[in-house]
Structure 1
Amino acid sequence: MVIPTQFQAYVVHKDDQGFRSGIETCSWEQLPEGDVTINVQYSSVNYKDGLASLPDGDIVRRYPFIPGIDLAGTVVHSAHASFHEGDQVLCTGYGLGVSHEGGFSQYARLNGDWLLHLPQSLTPKEAMGIGTAGFTAALSIHAMLNNGLRPEHGPVLVTGATGGVGSFAISILSRLGYEVIASTGKLEEQKDWLQSLGAHQVISRDELHPPKSGVMSSERWSGVVDPVGGGILPELLKQIRYGGSAALSGLTGGTEFNGTVFPFILRGIKLLGIDSVNCSMMLRKEIWGRLAAEWKPETMLGDGIKEVALTELPEALNLILRGKAVGRSVVVLNPKE
């Protein structure tokens, strides 16, 4: 492969001239140190990427900077023993797009210890369709299964259902035979789509919000996949059936948690914290292996992925920040498919 002397990337700046962002022509000197260089084929759009595009998003620590917390592509140079030129790889987490220049670039230079070989049954586009959002959904389900969740135990609630984590959770859980109840603020517009992903029932998030009197509520859910957090979480914990669990992975609903200990000590429930950034490589390999096989979210990959060009990225970031994004957007950088 002929490697160009310059390439395109989405760059954010914050200096004496203020904050600005946009597509720029970059040189290799702008990339950080790393032992593997990748021709990036696809990246994806996440809420954290949207925050990185804001002057006060509290994500980026230094400027100028290339965001993008996911990438998939082909190795063009490697000094790492596990990777060679031509290998297809993917990367999520480890500070990519936060403290280390990320995937919104036609080329990236990374630490090879952060990389996974792309599973043979996934294309780079599918891998980025899944990305951090789908990986986080799968981590949530993995943790709940380890807590004993089984289809016969009853319905599983998924909050923030039209977002990346929520929509992938629906797709995976339905494939595994669970009764999935999807909660969304876009009930009228997206009910049919959520049902096509595998939701048995779609309810308005307003149905979950009214505070219940007392320290406990009626048992409703065998488990909850919650990428939202905020004030509703303590109420959801009151509704989980005996021995069930809630997997918490996000904070789009806020960071406060004003709960009670009663659901934990009266029903033995568990609140499972889900981190997709620093989890072990052993767990990453296990989860991506399942996502490429028996957990492959076919309904979401078939109907929930939208391609955007690098020039369209600013609008995609704006949509996700405004809560208007539905499903997943993958950013096309150097397509090979």
Structure 2
Amino acid sequence: MVNARRIYVAGHGGMVGSAILRKLQQRRQVGDEIELITRTSAELDLTDQAQVQAFMRSERPDIVVLAAARVGGIHANNTYPADFIYENLMIECNVIHQAFAAGVKRLLQLGSSCIYPRETGQPMREDALLTGPLEPTNEPYAIAKIAGIKLCESYNRQHGVDYRSVMPTNLYGPGDNFHPENSHVLPALIRRIHEALSEGLDEVMIWGTGKPRREFLHVDDMAEASLFVLDLPRDVYEANTHPMQSHINVGTGRDVSIAELAATVARVIGFDGRIVCDPSKPDGTMQKLMDISRLTDMGWRARIGLEDGIRQTYEWFLDQPESGLRER
């Protein structure tokens, strides 16, 4: 870790923020002199400029990790577009500007692969940003995350600070959201197939043709990658990026079809019924794979395989009171 030792993790209660917090706590246990600063959303409303200003002035962190965001799947994005664009813009504006005003020289903000155009080439390179129309179903969220990248780049250019951005592919793991309406595809499949097993069903229906391909990264790998990028000397980071495209993709470099994903989840859970596709439902973008060459050239690769990661995630899910299957 860089010399600074007071680190504020915004969004430490979420899936990604909690994973980053765990990694930092592990570093502290092996001797790193790190002072971790956290606040729950009840303690600090990041959409409130005055609250964030007072917090930054009082705590004076050396480093800020911005993992806080309003997130959700396609249903949530379609249902609450105003909430998604407003809350994410306010969080980014408040945290980034007030960090700068409080003298924070280094910041890492986490974005999303949805920043790239719907029809961009595969795998998606960092320089594809702003080269075409976005996916309409999550455009408000994507625009907010693009604004976060440009905020960091603009503060770097005008004020000489060192604010960095990482763009993860689809994340999953302990702490994920398994809500039946607001979750992403992998936790949604885990819950649906889990419930089918619990209820003794002999088939599970999945949306679309099963042909779209998606890339999945375990949240613990994302946490490792985030701290890897944060730790990079500034000259190394800048040598591998561009002032106007300074974000770095984070992923595995491998994707699977939704049908293959469902089969893997079923195998992990122990469901031996049929997986039935419903082609009347939309497929969405047919492929979303990240070009991770920038990150691999700097020396980082994901370590957790998809099936092992799903197994770990399912074990975590079983330990939650609402799962109802731990006793079997």
| The structure with more helix, counted as a fraction of residues | 2
- Fold conserved (TM > 0.5)? no
TM-score by length of 2: 0.28
TM-score by length of 1: 0.27
